[in-house]
């Protein structure tokens, strides 16, 4: 096994991939680092850039295929339910007209909230809560009371 220029190139690439991984901490280049290690080892036995690159590509692809589903599963943000989630699906009274362009106000269980909607909902009517984002409710008109 001999140390060649191609070995130096793979070593530099390995260091670069590890540095990128350390800076991003989101597992974007760790697979390439594994491929660079394999290519570095192979570079000691052959001077063929084609063989070295093929080993790099195959090992990187296998490492990605083997670990990405596991990593993706662990890195997926888990949604933590909050007390505000109990408001989804409930009806609220519109205090200030809600339009697609202007945030309005609604009252839900005696508490006033900012509200937004893709449709205009006039003051005095009822709406249904679709989601909660901080202190703002996303609402839609209550079709059950509109038909009455």
Q: What is the mean pLDDT of residues 75-86?
A: 69
Contacts of 10-19 spanning 24+ positions with Cβ under 8 A:
10/36, 10/39, 10/40, 10/43, 10/52, 10/56, 11/40, 13/39, 14/40
Q: Which residues of 40-51 are buried (b: 16+ CB within 10 A; e: fewer)?
A: bebbeeeeeeee
Reported pTM: 0.50
**pLDDT tops 70 at residue 123:** yes
Residue 80: what pLDDT?
66
Q: Using pLDDT thresholds of 50, 70 and 90, give the confidence band for residue 77.
A: low
| Distance in angstroms between the alpha carbons of the first and the last residue of the chain | 86
């Amino acid at each position: 096994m001999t140390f060649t220029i191609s070995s130096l190139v793979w070593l530099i690439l390995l260091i670069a991939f590890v540095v990128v991984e350390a800076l991003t901490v989101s597992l974007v280049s760790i697979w390439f680092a594994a491929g660079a290690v394999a290519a570095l080892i192979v570079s000691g036995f052959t001077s063929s850039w084609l063989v070295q690159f093929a080993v790099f590509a195959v090992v990187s692809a296998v490492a990605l295929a083997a670990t990405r589903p596991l990593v993706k599963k662990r890195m997926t943000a888990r949604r933590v339910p909050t007390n505000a989630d109990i408001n989804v699906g409930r009806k609220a009274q519109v205090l200030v007209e809600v339009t697609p362009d202007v945030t309005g106000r609604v009252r839900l269980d005696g508490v006033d909230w900012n509200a937004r909607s893709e449709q205009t909902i006039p003051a005095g009517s009822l709406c249904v809560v679709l989601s909660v984002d901080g202190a703002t409710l996303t609402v839609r008109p209550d079709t059950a009371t509109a038909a009455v």
